């Protein structure tokens, strides 16, 4: 027994190469082993497996810095909407635009799932829903701005670090065609950038900066530095932990079935969401176990295909300090909602709330009622689902419950005014 315990505590490397361990079993193993154990599961002889070639890319930066134009340039002018039946790309991003772009490097193809985030201040609080690890971040900055700890680039880097420490980043300097961007300015700017990154690192704000590329984003399709940017994206994508790893082919079948379900719901003027039991039923139709469905849905969430926030485990740091996660029945049902279109969620559920202005008649001194939300921002959505959205927005502090009110009745709308909610006049 003593020898067994000694072996258990001393085992540091486990090799399970050249076996027949399935994708789901591998996922379970990796989540259950001791964090000090290095597990090698390579060259599994799995039948019906496919290679994961998708990489999630998030584009961040100020308005008019050239984010949407850069995405078009990376795609050589052709951008395919990931949720084509719902929205189309506009000249200026409203909330989040999600598209797919195919990169080709020699004989290999990579599918980028590109999230183009709006840069306006009013949208910033919604970004925290979607910033996560296993993502390549393109952070754009205007080369005409002086880089310092007070610069917009420093703001975006700190904001990203608050959500994703040690994120994988490609920095992109834009507007290099401006007359003020002389060779002397270019040399000084690059030194200032190095100094800024060094200063941020000293204050424990560190990143994995994979590359820095300078480009004229508005005419980026044929820009001389575009090949460098594509190569940097390809190399960063190859470093993602799931890229080019074998997946059970039923994962793609489940994903395509969920996307088809979303399209059908939108065509019927219904919100593209479903209950968890519907996902389980759909997965079982593809001969998936509940364990496999859970693992596949987690990957879909990481890759940005669905929005799925589990709040039932209130012991986690994310939910333990949110008193609005009551009553328990609503908390339990929150785990049931799976949003099949993140773009719909952003533009309807989030943008419909956070972009309201004080002049809107249904927002009074920053206060909104449940009835107003149902009649205006979330018109046409089932009231029970809206109540669960309220809980989710409270969790992320986009809505605040007013003390003394009953759950689901009246809330602070913290973003209607440029001052803090505590300064709002509370009405009886």
pLDDT of residue 422: 27
Phi then psi for residue 140, to 5 deg, are: -95, 145
- Whether the CB-CB separation of 103 and 55 falls below 8 Å is answered with no
pLDDT in tens, 51-96: 888 899 999 999 888 888 898 899 875 555 554 433 333 344 456 7
Q: Which residue has the higher pLDDT, 358 or 207?
A: 207
| From 39-48, 102-111, 201-210, 269-278, the region with the lowest mean pLDDT | 39-48
| From 12-16, 71-75, 101-105, 130-134, the region with the lowest mean pLDDT | 12-16
395, part of any domain: yes
pLDDT of residue 30: 59
Q: Are residues 215 and 272 in the same domain?
A: no
C-alpha–C-alpha distance, residues 421 and 370, integer Å: 18
pLDDT of residue 379: 82
Q: Which residue has the higher pLDDT, 38 or 71?
A: 71
- The burial of 27, by beta-carbon neighbours within 10 Å (0-12 exposed, 13-18 middle, 19 or more buried), is given as middle
C-alpha–C-alpha distance, residues 227 and 76, integer Å: 11
Residues 188-212 as b or e (16 or more Cβ within 10 Å = b): ebeebbeebbeebeeeebebebbeb
Q: Are residues 153 and 86 in the same domain?
A: yes
372, part of any domain: yes
246, part of any domain: no
List of residues 6+ apart from 399 with CB closer than 8 A: 353, 368, 390, 393, 411, 412, 413, 414
User: Can you tell me the mean pLDDT for 230-236?
Assistant: 95
133, part of any domain: yes
Phi then psi for residue 186, to 5 deg, are: -60, -45
97, part of any domain: yes
59, part of any domain: yes
C-alpha–C-alpha distance, residues 80 and 256, integer Å: 16
Q: Are residues 232 and 125 in the same domain?
A: yes
Q: Report angle CA 147, 150, 152 to the nearest 5 degrees.
A: 65
15, part of any domain: yes
pLDDT in tens, 366-388: 677 778 788 888 888 888 888 88
Show the 3-state SS of the chain. Answer: CHHHHHHHHHCCEEECCCCCCCHHHHHHHHHHCCCCCEEECCCCCCCCEEECCEEEEEEECCCCCCHHHHHHHHCCCCCEECCCCCCCCCCCCCCEEEEEEEEEECCEEEEEEEEEECCCHHHHHHHHHCCCCCCEEEEEEECCCCCCCCCHHHHHHHHHHHHCCCCEEEEEEECCCCCCCCHHHHHHHHHHHHHHHHHHHHCCCCCEEEEEEECCHHHCCCCCCHHHHHHHHHHHHHCCCCCCCEEECHHHHHHHHHHHHHHHHHHCCCCCEEEHHHHHHHHHCCCCCHHHHHHHHHHHHHCCCCECCCCCCCCCCCCCCCCCCCCHHHHHHHCCEEECCHHHHHHHHHHHHHCCCCCCCCCECCEEEHHHHHHCCCCCCCHHHHHHHHHHHHHCCCEEECCCCCCCCEEEECCCCCCCHHHCCCCC
Give the residue numbers spanning the domain of 133: 51-238
pLDDT of residue 384: 82
Q: Are residues 81 and 26 in the same domain?
A: no
C-alpha–C-alpha distance, residues 145 and 65, integer Å: 11
On the CB side of 177, how many CA atoms lie within 13 Å of its CA?
11
| Domain containing residue 140: CATH number | 3.40.50.300
Q: Are residues 111 and 160 in the same domain?
A: yes
Beta bridge partners of 364: 367
- Name the domain boundary from 204, 238, 272: 238
- The burial of 106, by beta-carbon neighbours within 10 Å (0-12 exposed, 13-18 middle, 19 or more buried), is given as exposed
pLDDT in tens, 181-221: 889 999 999 999 999 999 998 888 888 999 999 998 778 77
77 φψ region: left (φ > 0), alpha (ψ -120 to 50), beta (else): left
Q: Are residues 27 and 73 in the same domain?
A: no
Q: How confident is the model at residue 118 (pLDDT cuts 50, 70, 90)?
A: confident
Task: Using the Cα atoms of residue 207, residue 210, residue 214 and residue 215 in order, give the sign of their dihedral.
Answer: negative
209, part of any domain: yes
Q: Which residue has the higher pLDDT, 295 or 45?
A: 295
- Chain mean pLDDT for the chain: 75
Q: What's the whole-model pTM score?
A: 0.75
- Name the domain boundary from 182, 211, 238: 238
Q: Are residues 103 and 206 in the same domain?
A: yes
Q: Are residues 198 and 156 in the same domain?
A: yes
- Name the domain boundary from 188, 214, 238: 238
Q: Are residues 310 and 336 in the same domain?
A: yes
Q: Are residues 257 and 370 in the same domain?
A: yes
Number of folded domains in the chain? 3
Show the 3-state SS of 90-123. Answer: CCCCCCEEEEEEEEEECCEEEEEEEEEECCCHHH
Q: Are residues 63 and 199 in the same domain?
A: yes
User: Can you tell me the mean pLDDT for 141-151?
Assistant: 91
Q: Are residues 148 and 263 in the same domain?
A: no
């Amino acid at each position: 027994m003593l020898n067994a315990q000694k072996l258990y505590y001393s085992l540091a490397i486990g090799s399970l190469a050249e076996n027949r361990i399935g994708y789901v079993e591998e996922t379970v193993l990796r989540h259950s082993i001791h964090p000090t154990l290095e597990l090698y599961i390579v060259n599994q002889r799995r039948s019906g497996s496919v290679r994961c070639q998708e990489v999630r890319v998030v584009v961040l930066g100020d308005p008019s810095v050239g984010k949407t134009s850069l995405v078009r340039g990376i795609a050589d002018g052709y951008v395919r909407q990931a949720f084509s039946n719902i929205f189309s790309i506009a000249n200026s991003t409203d909330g989040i635009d999600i598209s797919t772009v195919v990169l080709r490097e020699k004989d290999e193809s990579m599918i980028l799932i590109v999230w183009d985030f709006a840069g306006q201040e009013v949208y910033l609080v919604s970004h925290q829903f979607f910033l996560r690890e296993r993502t390549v971040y393109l952070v754009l900055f205007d080369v005409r701005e002086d880089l310092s700890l007070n610069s917009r680039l420093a703001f975006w880097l700190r904001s990203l670090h608050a959500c994703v420490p040690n994120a994988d980043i490609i920095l992109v300097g834009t507007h290099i065609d401006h007359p003020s961007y002389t060779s002397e300015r270019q040399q000084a700017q690059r030194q200032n950038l190095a100094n800024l990154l060094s200063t941020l690192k000293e204050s424990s704000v560190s990143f994995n900066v994979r590359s820095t590329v300078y480009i004229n984003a508005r005419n980026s399709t044929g820009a001389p530095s575009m090949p460098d940017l594509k190569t940097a994206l390809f190399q960063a994508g190859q470093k993602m932990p799931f890229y080019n790893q074998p997946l059970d082919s039923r994962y793609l079948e489940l994903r395509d079935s969920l996307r088809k379900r979303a399209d059908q719901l939108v065509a019927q003027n219904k919100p593209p969401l479903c209950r968890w039991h519907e996902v389980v039923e759909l997965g079982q139709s593809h001969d998936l176990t509940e364990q496999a469905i859970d693992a596949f849905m987690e990957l879909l969430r990481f890759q940005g295909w669905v929005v799925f926030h589990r709040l039932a485990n209130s012991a986690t740091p994310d939910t333990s300090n949110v008193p609005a996660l009551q009553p328990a029945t609503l908390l339990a049902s929150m785990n049931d909602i799976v949003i099949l279109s993140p773009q719909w969620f952003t533009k309807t559920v989030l943008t419909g709330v956070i972009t309201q202005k004080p002049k809107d008649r249904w927002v009074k001194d920053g206060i909104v009622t449940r009835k107003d939300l149902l009649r205006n921002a979330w018109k046409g959505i089932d009231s029970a689902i809206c109540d669960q959205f309220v809980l989710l927005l409270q969790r992320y502090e986009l809505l605040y419950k007013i003390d003394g009110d009953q759950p689901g009745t009246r809330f602070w709308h913290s973003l209607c005014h440029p001052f803090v909610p505590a300064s709002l006049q509370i009405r009886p």
